Structure formats: C-alpha cells, structure tokens
Amino acid sequence: MTAYTEKQYVEEMIATRRKIHQTPEEGWTEFQTTWLVAERLRALGLKVLLGTQVINPKAVMGRDPKLVEAAIKRALAAGVPQSFIDETGGYTGAVAVLETGRPGPVTAFRSDMDCVLVTESDSPDHLPTACGFSSKRPGFMHACGHDGHTSVALEVCRWLVDHKDQLKGTIKVLFQPAEEGVRGAGAMAASGVVDDVDTLIGAHVGTFAKLGTIGLCESGFLASTKIDVHFHGRPSHAGADPEKGRSALMAACAAAMMMQGIPRSGEGTTRIAVGRLNAGEGRNVTPVHADMQLEVRGETGEINQYMVKNVENIVEGVKRAYEVEAEIVKAGEATTLPSCPEVLDLIESVAKTVPGVESIERFNKPSGSEDCTLLIERVVQHGGRGAYFLFGCNHHGHHRADFEIQDETSLPMAFNMFKGLALRLNGI
Amino acid sequence: MTAYTEKQYVEEMIATRRKIHQTPEEGWTEFQTTWLVAERLRALGLKVLLGTQVINPKAVMGRDPKLVEAAIKRALAAGVPQSFIDETGGYTGAVAVLETGRPGPVTAFRSDMDCVLVTESDSPDHLPTACGFSSKRPGFMHACGHDGHTSVALEVCRWLVDHKDQLKGTIKVLFQPAEEGVRGAGAMAASGVVDDVDTLIGAHVGTFAKLGTIGLCESGFLASTKIDVHFHGRPSHAGADPEKGRSALMAACAAAMMMQGIPRSGEGTTRIAVGRLNAGEGRNVTPVHADMQLEVRGETGEINQYMVKNVENIVEGVKRAYEVEAEIVKAGEATTLPSCPEVLDLIESVAKTVPGVESIERFNKPSGSEDCTLLIERVVQHGGRGAYFLFGCNHHGHHRADFEIQDETSLPMAFNMFKGLALRLNGI
Amino acid sequence: MTAYTEKQYVEEMIATRRKIHQTPEEGWTEFQTTWLVAERLRALGLKVLLGTQVINPKAVMGRDPKLVEAAIKRALAAGVPQSFIDETGGYTGAVAVLETGRPGPVTAFRSDMDCVLVTESDSPDHLPTACGFSSKRPGFMHACGHDGHTSVALEVCRWLVDHKDQLKGTIKVLFQPAEEGVRGAGAMAASGVVDDVDTLIGAHVGTFAKLGTIGLCESGFLASTKIDVHFHGRPSHAGADPEKGRSALMAACAAAMMMQGIPRSGEGTTRIAVGRLNAGEGRNVTPVHADMQLEVRGETGEINQYMVKNVENIVEGVKRAYEVEAEIVKAGEATTLPSCPEVLDLIESVAKTVPGVESIERFNKPSGSEDCTLLIERVVQHGGRGAYFLFGCNHHGHHRADFEIQDETSLPMAFNMFKGLALRLNGI
Amino acid sequence: MTAYTEKQYVEEMIATRRKIHQTPEEGWTEFQTTWLVAERLRALGLKVLLGTQVINPKAVMGRDPKLVEAAIKRALAAGVPQSFIDETGGYTGAVAVLETGRPGPVTAFRSDMDCVLVTESDSPDHLPTACGFSSKRPGFMHACGHDGHTSVALEVCRWLVDHKDQLKGTIKVLFQPAEEGVRGAGAMAASGVVDDVDTLIGAHVGTFAKLGTIGLCESGFLASTKIDVHFHGRPSHAGADPEKGRSALMAACAAAMMMQGIPRSGEGTTRIAVGRLNAGEGRNVTPVHADMQLEVRGETGEINQYMVKNVENIVEGVKRAYEVEAEIVKAGEATTLPSCPEVLDLIESVAKTVPGVESIERFNKPSGSEDCTLLIERVVQHGGRGAYFLFGCNHHGHHRADFEIQDETSLPMAFNMFKGLALRLNGI
C-alpha cells in the first residue's frame, strides 16, 4: 500500500465529510456512521474496538431505546449488515488502535460523530445545498461540525498507517458517540479504553476560533449536568373534581420557578436552564404527565454539584407539596477542563508549523460544556495528561440551519495539527 | 315510502351508531360523519343546510386548519366526493329542516358529532371490541357518546318524515360539530340558524344518569371559556449567553402559577385549569415557544368573565415581566343553562310516557360545561326557550378507553323522548 | 333586691356597653373586661367559672404570651386585683351559672368580649366620638360589636336573677374570649363547660342584618382554620456568599404562590388567604425569618380539612426544596353551623314577640366564619342542639374605624330576644 | 499649638473611637457624630463644609425623614445645639479642608460614620463590654468599624494641622454619611466636593485582611443598586369577597419569585437578593400593603443595569397581572472600583514603611459593594485617580454582635498609612 499524497489525503477527507454530512445521526443512533468508520479502519488493517469494549453500558446517559431501535432498522435498510449491529451490542462508537510494535507512549486523539436536531437550510447560498451534499434527513443536520471531526480522524488514521514506520508506542483514535448533550464521553471513559493513555488530545472546529486560528483552550468549559425530570400526577375532571387531581403540570411549573431561582454562588459561575417542558393530556383534565429537560452548570465540579443538589431538593419539595411522583434521570454530564499547560504548549509549538495558521489564541471565557473533559479527566486520574484545541472556521453559529465550515481549508489544518502532534509525541 | 316499524327504526339506529363508532372524527374534522348525515337526510327528502349556512366562520373557535386539511384528504380517500367537500366550504356540521307546510311553531333538536382523543380499549370485555365495531382510528374514539347522539337524531329525522302528516310547523334537527372543547355551538348559533326557533332541546347520553333514568338539567352547567396562549421568546445559548434569551417557558410557568392563584369569588363557583403546556426546543437553548391550553369556568357568565379578565391580566403581566410576546386565542366557549322550567316540565311529562324510563331526576350540581347552552341562550335571546336532558346509560366514565353505552336499550329511550317531544310541540 | 324596671335594664346595658367600648382588649388579653364581668356577676350572687374551669389550655389557639403578660400589667395598673389575675390562671373568659334549684333543661347563651386592631375614627360624625365614649387605646377598637354582646349578656344575667322564681333548670351565660381569629371557642368547648347543655344560642349584632331585622342563620358559616407558619432559614452575605444562605423569605413566597393555587373543590366552596408576611432582617442578608399568617375555609369541615392538608403539604414541600425549617401553628378554628331547624323555629317565634322587630330573615350565603359553631358542635355531639341569630343594626361595615351600632335600639332587641328564649326554654 | 507626640495621637484616636462606639447612629441620622466631628475640626482651626455643601439633596438615596426627625430630637436632647442642626440643613456628613497655602495637588481621604442595626453582644469576652465602651443604643452597633474610620480620619486631621508646614496643596478629609446600604456617597459625589481632587483614597478596617495586613483592592467590588418596592393593593374580606381584593402580598411574592429567577449573565457575575418583605394588615383581609427591600449587583455597571432593568420589568409585570400599584424607589447605589494601578503602587510603597505591617496582599474576589467607588469614579471622571485599601484586624465577621477590632494596634496602622500618603502626595 503506497502512502497517499498530501492532495489525496485532503480530497478523501473532504469527500468523507460530505458523505457523512448527508446522513446525520443523533447521539447513540450513529450506526451508519460507526459502520462507515469501522469499515474504513478495518480496510486500513487497524484494530477496531466496538460496543462494550468502548462503552460501559452502566455509565450510559441520555440514550433512548426507542430511538436506537428505529436507528438500527434504518441502518439495516441502508445496508449495514446485521452482523455488525450485533458486534456493537446496540452501542455506537469506535476506537481505532495503532500498535507500532515499538515501545513508546500511548497517545489518544478524540473525535465525535453525532448530529443535532436542526433542519438544514435549503438556501442556494448554503454551501452544502450549492454543492449537493446537504442532509437527506429533514430535522437532522451536522450543524456542529462533528462530520468534519470524524472525517479528519479517519484521515489521520490512514496517515498513521501510512507512516507507521516513523512512529513508536500506541496511538488510539476515538470516535465517540453522543457528544451533544454531553452524553457519550462518560460511558467511553468508564469503559477503561483510555486508562493507559499518556496524552489525550481533542479538538473542535469553529466556536470562538475564526478560519486561520488555532485556539488553545486554557479553561472556560463549565462542568455541567443534564437532567430529565418526569413528573407523574393524578387525573381528574377540571370542572367537576379539580380537588381529586394532582397536576404534574403545576408541579413542574413550580419546580421551574424555584430552579430558576437557585441562588448564585460566591464561589464562581453557575447556570440553570429549563429548556423543555411538555405537560398535560387535555385542556380539561388535570395533567398526569410532565416531562422536563434541564441543565445546570458550574465553574467547578463542586459548584455544578451545588446546582444539582438544589435541583434535587426542589424536585423532592414539589413531590411533597403537590403530592405527585417525580423521577430524576441524569441525561448527560461534563466536567471542567483539567489544566495541563505543557500539552497546550506542545499544541502551540505544533500550530506554529502548520501551513495556513495565521494566529494562535488562548481561550478561557466560561461558556459551553464539552464531554471530552470527562475523557481528559479520566486520563489525568490515571496519571496522564490532556488538552483541547479549536481549529477555526468562519461560521454563522453552531446549531443553526446555516452552519457551515470551509472544509477545504479548515479540515486540512486539523489534519496537519494531528499529524504534527503524532510525530512530536510518538515519532521515533 | 312506507313508514318503518318500531323495530326497523331501532335496528337502523343501532347499526348507524355502530358504523359511526368505527370512524371517529375530532371536532371540526367530521367530514365523513357530515357526509353520512347529509346523504341520509337527502335520501329522506329533507332540506339540508351545510357549511356557512349553519356555521359563521367569524365565530369559529379552536379549529386547526392543518387538521382540517388532513381530514379532508382522509375523507376523499374514504370516498366522500370532492363536490360535497366543496359544499361544506371546509366547515363540518349540518342542519336538517322539516317544513310540514302547516303553520306552527319552530322546534329544534340538537345533536353533536365529534369524538375525543382516546385510544379505544381492545379488551374482549369491551362491547365494541366484542361486537366488532370498535374504532378503526387509533388515538380517536367516540368515548363521549356523540355517535349515539348522531344516530338518534338521524332516526328521529326518518320518523319525522314518516309522520309528517301528523305534524305542523317546522322542525330543525341540528348536527353540531366540535362540541368537545365547547367549540362548535358558538359558530352555529352565530350563523342565525336557530334564530327563528321557539323551542330548542338538547340531550346527552350518560353522565350523571344511569340506564333507565331521564335527567332534567335544572342548572349545573358552568359558563366556561377555553383559552390558548402562545408565548414567544428569544433564543440564546443557556451556557454562554443566558442573559440574551427571553424564556417563553419561564413566562408560561410564571403565568400558570399566577393563573392557578386567581382569587376565588364570593359570588359563586369558579374553576381554573392549565391543562397543557408544551415549551422549549432544546435543553440548552433558551425556549422560544410555549403553547398553553387552559380553561376557566364560573357559576355565572359574569363570574366566568372575572376569571377570563384575570387570565388576560396575567398574560399581559408576564409579557412585560419576561419581555416575551404572547397571543391569547379563544378556543372555546359555553355559558350556563338558561332556566326554562316549563320546557323541563314538558320533558318530564313526555318522559313519563316513554317505555323503560324507571326514574326521572333533576340535576343541578355544578360540574362540566356544554356548548348547547350557547344555542339555548341564542334561542332565548330571540324570544324562544330551551332545555337539556340526559338519557341514562351504565358507563365507566366518559372520555375513557372503556366507555360504553347500552345502545340497544339506551338509544331507543332517547328516540322515543324526541318523538314524544315532537308530537307534543308540533303535533297537529 | 327589687327587680329593675325595663328602662333601668336598658340604661344600665347601654352604659355598660359604652364603658367597655373605651377599653377594648384583643383576644386572650381581656383581663379588664373579664374582671368587669366577674365583679358584676358576683354582685348579682351568681356562680362564676373562670380560668381553666372554662378554658382548656391544651386547646388554646392563637394566644401570644407576651401580649398576655403586657395585658396583665395593664390590668393591674388599671386596678384589677392581683388575686383576680391569679384566679384566671392567665386565661380570660368567664361563665355565669344560674341554678334555679328546679329541675329543668340546661340552656346556654353565648357572648364574646374581644376587640379588633383598628384605630377608632375621631370624626365628629362618629357616635362614640360625639358621645365621648370612643376607644382610649389607639390601634384597638370594639369595631365588631362584642362590647354590645358582653353588655347584653350581663344585662340578661341581671334579668335572670331578678326573675329566677319564674325559671326552672339551669342557665349558663358564656363570656367567651378571643372570637376574632376564631381562637377562643375551641378551648372553651374543650373545657367541657357546655357538655351538659341542652340548647345553646349565640347571637351577633349587625353583619347582614339591618336595624329592625332578626336574622336566622341557617347555614353560611364556612369551616375555617387559621394557621401561622414560621419559616427559619440560614443567613449569608447576599453579595459574597449567596449560596451559603437559605432564604426563609423565598421559601415563604414560594409557599404563598403554591397555597394560593390549591385547586378549588368540586365538593363546595373553598377559600385561601395569605394575609400577612413579615420576612427578612436586612436588605443584603439572606433572610433567616419569615412569619406568615394565613387562613383557609371550606363549605364543610371536610372541605376545610382538604385545604389544611394542602397547606401542610406545601409547607413540607418548601422545607425540602429550600432546606429551611418551618413550624406550623394552628392559630384559630371554626366549623360550620350544625343545622337545628327546631331551634331556629323557636328563635323565629320569639322574634315575632319582640317589640321593634320589623322583619325576620333567613341567611345562608357562604361568607365569614364564627367559632360559636364549635360550641354548638360540642353541644350537638353531646346530644343537645343549638342555633345562631343576628340582631340588626345599621353600620358601615365591621372592622372599620367608623363601625357603629345603634345601641339604644339594637341592644334592647337582643336583650328581649334572650329574655324570651329563657322564658320559652326554662320558664316554669 | 504644639504637635502631639505619637503616643498622644494614638491615645486620643482610641479614646475617640470608644466614645463614638457608644453612640452608634444609622445612615443619615449621624447628627451626634457629625457634631462631634465638626467641633473637633473647628477646634483645630480647619474649614468645615456641612449640609448641602457636601450633600446634594437631589442625589440622596435611602433617607427616611421620620428617622431623621427622631435623630434630631435625640441629638438635641444629647446637647447638640439647634444652631448646628440648622447648619446641616438636616443632612449629616462633613468635609474638613486643609489649605496649605502652597501650590500643590488636591488630595482627599475618605471615612464614613454610620452604624448597623445589630444589638451588641454583652458577653464578657467581648472587648467593648469588658472595657465598658459598648453601645448604649440597643439594636444599634458600630459592627462594621466605621467608628474606627471616623476616629482615624479625625486624628489624621490633627496630624495634618500639626504638620501643615511640611505640606503643600490641599487636603480634604471626607466624613461620609450612610455608607451602609451604599446610600451616602452618591449624594456627596453629586455635591461636587471632590471634583477638584487629584487623588482620593479610601480605606476599610478588616473584611478580608487580618491584623498586620494591608490589602490593596485591585477589583472585586460589585456594582450594586438597592431598590425598595412599595406595592399597593385593594382590601376585601378574604372569606366573603376574595374576588374584590387585589393582594399586594401575592404581587410581591410573585415578583420575588421572578426576580430571584432573573437569568444569570454570560458577561459576568450577577447577584439578586430580596432581603425584606413586610406585607399585609390582617389574616383575613386581602393585603393592601407590601414593602420589599432588594438589591442587585453586577460585575460591571452594565451587568448591574441589566439586573435593574429586569427588576423594573418584573415590577411592571406584576402591577399588570395583579392590578396593583407599585412604586420603585432607588435606595442605594455603588459602582465597581476604577482601576488606578499607580495609586495602588503608591499605597504599597507606603505600606512597606509602616511599622507593624507584616504582609501586603492584593484582593480581587468579587464580593461586597462599597460606595466609596462612586467618589473615586467621580474623581476619575474629572481627571483624577483613586484607590481603596484595607487595614487588617482579627474579627469574627462584620455586622455581627461580636464584631471587634484591635483598636490599639489596627487603628495606628491606618493612621500611619494616611500620614505616609499625605507626605508622599502633598509633602513639600
């Protein structure tokens, strides 16, 4: 197998990204994407870990069995073999393992594969529309760039195989499921697949970084817990017997009011958002069901826990006050970014060598959450280290119908970053 | 045309009811039912009023154009001719008019045709299942008995035609759409179709009345207004920019808390129920949409208006407090039952003559609402009078999956009541 | 001792009322009033029960020891002997017992003695101002007419003694403390002092009845419970450490919102009112204390208990949600009026004989609460019967600074009512 | 006049502090303290500005005329001459002006004079108790150390007069009223008295700084607005006519719930605290009055304004929802600390020369608010500069009954700091 030319790597990577873009799959349902990944990796001769090798079912959060079931049917219909579905055990995600055969450190690169629930723009101005590779699934779209992450990771795998004789130690490339809602990394970490890793590096396209910028994430990720609350009341006729009912809707509204009012913390930034509430069956029936989706965040894990604890207290409180039942389900979790300055410095020094990188910036404004932090935390707990960087693109905003990346310029930058990192960390 | 025998009337009526039971249609979508009604009436040679002849579009409440559109497609697919759909102008409902040609009073009998959103029980104990006439539309069921009302009214029409030579004046038989949610009667009243009516009588199967009982409704219907509120906020990322969002969800929750707390009235019974709330787009996005369905009731129209006024104040208040938009839509309305003791006495005297009637009771406990009150109110406003009675059945509760009526015993009682009333009011 | 003339009775009664009017005492602090009552009764040679003979301390509600202590000091300063205070054991209230020595039924007449917290009008139009007998205690006023009740009851006692030889059986005249807030009757009932009573009759001046009217209370009293809730949180600096505090104020506000929203009952009328809330220590300190005064009412004792139960659930709920402590104290209680039609008929027949009575009306609109109902309930539970009537006056509204009664016309009517009742029930 | 010895300055300063400690006066009522200050300053021959010379009445916040009136009576009774009260025009506060007669910069030192509403500990362990100088006004206490600030400032004035021949330019020493609740500085700034100041320096005893520490405040003060809201509803009998009332209490509770839930800001730290709520007149009367005290804070003035704007929206919202009136009154205001690094550096270099200073620390944790920021801001707006430092003491917490300062060690350190700053800034 002759090594690809630089141009071949890039062309294949762009093509892969555009292919994946057309079949977006939401978290825990990425069976077609996982199949595409596994097929490619196996074609390269790489060892591929799947299912419970990379996902600890006990640590899985926010996975809806009904959606999984439907996704498997869809995958089978699209040509994914039943034998592969069996291999996954129903859990998406994959890890490629390159054993160089030479002693050396264990390095991990992490990507993610899921889409968001947005209907893609059909404007002719929108690049995927113009170039004919927009989403074929209405209501689903790779509007956060994970299609790009996956294709970069796949291309890095080809490059690693092509250049295996220049490398030592082990390199693992992670294809994590369900990053949206920070649901997947916890279960991947809990599988132990990164426990032997010395250095884990994750990356994201866009966000704060413009095209040409490599962003070094010093901090700024908020610890976060995603929580579902299912309230269950008792029906009654709202006109004849209001006193016989127990309104799950009113319990949920009272809880939302109290949650939004959880006191700020003098210890640092907090966040609370009740993002969804679906309650009630009919206008004139005391509502029996109310399903709430919320999230809390904190500048540290402790502050985040302070918020979680208050949410729990409030739910217990409204159960008592409204005589309803309520079940709290943890639907996602992320932590803050452990600080490993020497890995950031390494990334910086590699970035200086990558063509097209015009600026290198450090970011630390508290903002969103990212469950790669749980993988880095796991690595750090086992004596390793990690970091996270951004490779820029010019976009209109993530999770929007008109989200775009300049895949022909932006993705090669990421590809070159990982190549450089591999050589620096595992070069012979 | 030879007049039916008593047995023939009953058998046809039962068969009609069982036929309608299998194709339940929710309010404002009763195209198949209206078609069945109109065909039968025309076959009897009766004049049939349809569409805007019986429905004033300006007074229509709680009609969802998308559901109507889908229902029309369904009706066409089921064989309803396009020409009939055109006749309706998209508005369901019908009124049969029997002109005897002899001077005399104008009498109206009122039935309704819509189903509720319940999935019918498939238990073998459930009569419609056992006898093979249960709903063929999952999620929809004639669980309030309007299928019985329609079939009784149709059979009464045949009897009226058969006995036209014994009658004077005019008899109108109303097939009202959308009684559930008290949506349809207002628009039928506003059409003017009952403005010339001297006596209007409505009836309902079951509720408080057991099989063998005729219930005279002295009062007990609460005036009621059904209200939809559509809150519209502004999105933002809940982690990065919570201050930039305006949460429609929180505005709705605050409104629900305040609405539930509208002070009771010393003037009489009040009710408030927020029955449904669907809010939010994603867990980590400040919710842009919140749709609330609520209802208020009052022992009098004035008390009901006191509740409506407070709901309006609260919506205006949360618009201001949360900087959201909010639209209030009236989705249904009913009033209290105007008291016409002499019509109740008439019904009582007829009931005494009907075979199978074992007891006659008077009801006045405040409970539900019924928009037949708006038709009676309209008649009273134009100098007429009206009343409402119950014909009993043994049931497990209305709007339940296992709702049943004893159609072979219960419906004939209603049929005979209306026959008797026709003879008393319009007999020559 | 020669019996008074009619004129003497009336003059003394008016004088007594005007004297009491000048020294209003709030519930459980009526030491000067009780002393005045006891002195008069003893001068008449009547047996007087005091303290724990008429009040069961375990059943006392809404009695503030600090107010009692201050009242005792005030009474001592006003000349009430320490020995009398000792007799009361700190509990106001008295019962006069007339034993005729002849066998016969036990009858009880009930009056009350406490004032309300209103500052009396100093307008020259206001009769007590014009006649120089207005309240000498700013902030306190006999604005509900209990001064009149007490003076009528005292004068009835004189008449009973004067006419003892025309009477048989036993007559008890109750001077109940703390009717406002329905606090005193429960403890008087629990003392057992009315357990042997065959017929208990209470009365009130004014309310719905105009001057010249005797009102027969058929129903209309709502069962009611008065509740104090003391929330206790944890302080913290609102700027530096908001997360360390637990706000009693916010817990109370959330509780108020939820209480106001307790669902109406299909069983009958309910009421909820959070009447007072005092919370917080300083603007920038998380509030530690919040004291709430509320009341619930119900058309029946069961409906009232439904409201009480919900209040309790809500308080337990906010304790849990806000991690605060909260103590619920029952501060008052009344029930509905047990129906004893034959006693009402008796009252009606006596009213027909009383000079000045121009109309006799029956009242049953749900409205306020009255703890005489607890005394009647106790009597009924022990096999007796009871009733309550109004003797009218023309007033501007009870509990107002300009409340007035026409004592020269209204009180004699009550006096004559009780005379007549005594003769009918206990005449030889 | 011979200059004092170092020992004399210290002894007098301690004595002054202990004298002031015994007569604590809350904000805007410091008439006895202002009188003490003015007498001393005039005895030193200093020009003293009073009343509207140092306070702009239009900018006064949180001043209760009733408390002022009572304080003036108290001051007169304590021997303060009426002529002095007249000089103040009812506004406390003073500024001493030392004109050296030599050209040079204008420097201002700022102290404050008001106490807090705490009852001082009577524990024998408590130094003021042990040494017999504890507060003689129960419920009022110099528990924040402003007595120390005033006595240091007075002693600095004596030292300035004693060393006038070593100084150039002008030195103003500010005795600000009403720092608690950040009420006084705004009005002093608005008077223009610091408009010509080149350098303004304020200081506080304790807080984060231990005894022996000089703390340089780099940032950490939150912009803050203190707000009173007076809700006004409509009374009604809670049992008979709940629908006729408009509950100011419920409006306030709803407002509190919504205020506590104002979304956090991605721009920086926010705070909200509803610290006090007094509502309602009687348990069974719909509450007419509700008085709320709250405060908001923000990491910047803009963020604070975001909070203020939301509070205003919420108040407008509940006015509409509950049909109540509501008045918003600004009761206090502070801003963030403008950064003037060279002044901090100057303070640091002086601190290094002061005996007893063991450590010099820089503070910037967001925490409380201080209205000295408004004076510094005013100076900066006029082209000057300013800074704020802490001089440590070992205390149990400010605003506590057992707050203590080690006046014999701590105050001399502040005295020497100001001496050194005067020499550095205005030394010839």
Q: What's the token pair of residue C178?
A: 């703390």
Q: What number is the average pLDDT over the span B104-131?
A: 94
pLDDT in tens, B213-260: 999 999 878 999 999 999 999 998 888 889 999 999 999 999 999 999
State ipTM. 0.88
Q: What's the token pair of residue B345?
A: 């006495």
Q: Are C291 and D288 in contact (CB under 8 A)?
A: no
Q: What's the token pair of residue C296?
A: 């619930």
| Interacting residues of C65 by C-beta distance below 8 A, sequence separation 6+ | none
* C289 annotated among ligand-binding-site residues: no
User: Which residues of C sit within 8 Å Cβ distance of A?
Assistant: 237, 239-245, 247, 250, 254, 257-258, 261, 263-267, 286, 306, 313-314, 316-323
Q: How far is A412 from chain D (nearest CA, A)?
A: 33
The pLDDT value recorded for residue D392 is 94
Q: Are A46 and A161 in contact (CB under 8 A)?
A: yes
Helix (H, G, I), strand (E, B) or coil at B224: strand
The DSSP symbol for D182 reads T
- Cα–Cα–Cα angle for B183, B185, B188, nearest 5°? 120
CA distance B391 to A105: 85
Kindly list the partner chains of chain A, i.e. chains with 3 or more CB atom pairs below 8 Å.
B, C, D
The pLDDT value recorded for residue B397 is 83
Q: Are C133 and C408 in contact (CB under 8 A)?
A: no
pLDDT in tens, A289-305: 999 999 999 999 999 99
**Neighboring chain B residues of C257 at a CB cutoff of 8 Å:** 257-258, 261
pLDDT beyond 60 at C307? yes
Neighbour-count burial of D243, counting CB atoms closer than 10 A to its CB (0-12 exposed, 13-18 middle, 19+ buried): buried
The DSSP symbol for A246 reads B
Spatial CA neighbour of D360 closest among D375, D346, D372? D346
Contact D314/B321, CB-based, under 8 Å? yes
Q: Are B74 and B30 in contact (CB under 8 A)?
A: no
Outline where A105-230 has alpha helix (H).
127-130, 146-162, 185-190
Spatial CA neighbour of C199 closest among C346, C348, C349? C346
Contact D239/C293, CB-based, under 8 Å? no
The pLDDT value recorded for residue D1 is 57
Contact B254/D250, CB-based, under 8 Å? no
pLDDT beyond 70 at D78? yes
pLDDT in tens, C95-154: 999 999 999 999 999 999 999 988 899 999 999 999 999 999 999 999 999 999 999 999
Regions in chain A scoring below 50 on pLDDT: none
pLDDT in tens, D232-262: 999 888 888 899 999 999 999 999 999 999 9
Strands (E), A113-222: 170-176, 199-205, 213-217
- Residue B41: count other Cβ atoms within 10 Å of its Cβ: 25
pLDDT beyond 70 at B1? no
The pLDDT value recorded for residue C118 is 85
pLDDT in tens, B402-428: 999 999 999 999 999 999 999 999 999
The pLDDT value recorded for residue A366 is 67
Q: What's the token pair of residue D284?
A: 């069974």
Contact D250/B261, CB-based, under 8 Å? yes
CA distance B217 to C28: 51
Helix (H, G, I), strand (E, B) or coil at A263: coil
Calculate what percentage of chain C has a pLDDT beyond 90: 89
Q: In which residue are the tokens 């990771």 written? A: A153
CA distance A406 to A389: 18
**Neighboring chain C residues of B266 at a CB cutoff of 8 Å:** 366-367
Q: Are B357 and B409 in contact (CB under 8 A)?
A: no
Helix (H, G, I), strand (E, B) or coil at A22: helix
Contact A319/C317, CB-based, under 8 Å? yes
Q: How far is C215 from chain D (nearest CA, A)?
A: 17
pLDDT beyond 90 at C82? yes
Q: Which amino acid is at B147?
A: D
Report how many helices (DSSP H) and strands (DSSP E) chain D contains, helices first.
12, 12
Q: Measure CB to CB from residue C239 to each of D257, D287, D368 and give the nearest one.
A: D368
The pLDDT value recorded for residue A137 is 95
- Out of C281-295, D139-153, D313-327, D359-373, least confident range: D359-373
* D333 annotated among ligand-binding-site residues: no
Q: How far is C264 from chain B (nearest CA, A)?
A: 7
* C126 annotated among ligand-binding-site residues: no
Cα-Cα-Cα-Cα dihedral sign, residues D210, D213, D214, D218: negative
Residue of A nearest to B366 (CA): A240
Q: How far is D117 from chain C (nearest CA, A)?
A: 9
CA distance C172 to C82: 26
The pLDDT value recorded for residue D428 is 93
D398: confidence class by pLDDT, cuts 50, 70, 90 = confident
CA distance C411 to C204: 10
Q: What's the distance, CA C166 to chain centroid?
A: 31
The pLDDT value recorded for residue C339 is 78
Contact D239/C274, CB-based, under 8 Å? no
The pLDDT value recorded for residue C101 is 95
| A interface test, pick of D260, D262, D294, D314 with most A CB neighbours within 10 Å | D260
Q: What's the token pair of residue C254?
A: 């959330």
C1: confidence class by pLDDT, cuts 50, 70, 90 = low
Q: How far is A108 from chain D (nearest CA, A)?
A: 32
* D399 annotated among ligand-binding-site residues: yes
**Neighboring chain A residues of D366 at a CB cutoff of 8 Å:** 266
| B interface test, pick of C208, C222, C260 with most B CB neighbours within 10 Å | C260
Helix (H, G, I), strand (E, B) or coil at A278: strand
Q: How far is D28 from chain C (nearest CA, A)?
A: 17
pLDDT in tens, B348-388: 999 999 999 999 999 887 677 899 999 999 999 999 999 99
The pLDDT value recorded for residue B399 is 85
Average pLDDT, chain A: 95
Question: Given 3-state DSSP classes, what are the helix, strand and coil percentages for chain B, each rounded to the nearest 5?
Answer: 40, 25, 40
Bridge partners, C273 (sequence order): C295
Give how far Cα B127 sits from Cα of B16, B135, B398, B401, C247, Å: 16, 12, 15, 12, 58
Q: How far is B261 from chain D (nearest CA, A)?
A: 9
Contact C317/A317, CB-based, under 8 Å? yes
CA distance A362 to A148: 22
Cβ density class D153-186: b for 16+ within 10 Å, e for less = bbbbbbbbbeebeebbbbbbbbbbbbbbbbbbbb
- Residue C77: count other Cβ atoms within 10 Å of its Cβ: 8
pLDDT beyond 80 at C20? yes
pLDDT in tens, B26-79: 999 999 999 999 999 999 999 999 999 999 999 999 999 999 999 999 999 999
pLDDT beyond 80 at C268? yes
pLDDT beyond 90 at C220? no
Q: Are D62 and D226 in contact (CB under 8 A)?
A: yes
Q: In which residue are the tokens 């009421």 written? A: C271
Kindly list the partner chains of chain D, i.e. chains with 3 or more CB atom pairs below 8 Å.
A, B, C
The pLDDT value recorded for residue B104 is 97
**Neighboring chain A residues of C305 at a CB cutoff of 8 Å:** none
Contact C243/A306, CB-based, under 8 Å? yes
Average pLDDT, chain C: 95
Q: Are C292 and C311 in contact (CB under 8 A)?
A: no
Contacts 24+ apart (CB under 8 A), C79-88: C80/C31, C80/C32, C80/C35, C84/C35, C84/C38, C85/C31, C87/C50, C87/C51, C88/C31, C88/C34, C88/C50, C88/C51
D366: confidence class by pLDDT, cuts 50, 70, 90 = low
Contact B239/A249, CB-based, under 8 Å? no
Q: Measure CB to CB from residue A260 to each of D261, D271, D366 and give the nearest one.
A: D261
The DSSP symbol for C361 reads E
Q: What number is the average pLDDT over the span C363-381?
A: 89
Q: Are C179 and C185 in contact (CB under 8 A)?
A: yes
What is the set of domains in chain C, with CATH numbers?
Answer: 6-221+337-426 (3.40.630.10), 223-334 (3.30.70.360)
User: Which residues of B sit within 8 Å Cβ distance of C?
Assistant: 257-258, 260-261, 263-264, 266, 269-272, 366-367
C397: confidence class by pLDDT, cuts 50, 70, 90 = confident
CA distance C216 to C340: 11
Q: What's the distance, CA A293 to chain centroid?
A: 18
CA distance D45 to D63: 31
Contact A366/D266, CB-based, under 8 Å? yes
Element containing residue C161 per DSSP (H, E): helix C146-162
| D interface test, pick of C144, C183, C283 with most D CB neighbours within 10 Å | C283
CA distance B263 to B246: 28
Helix (H, G, I), strand (E, B) or coil at C385: strand
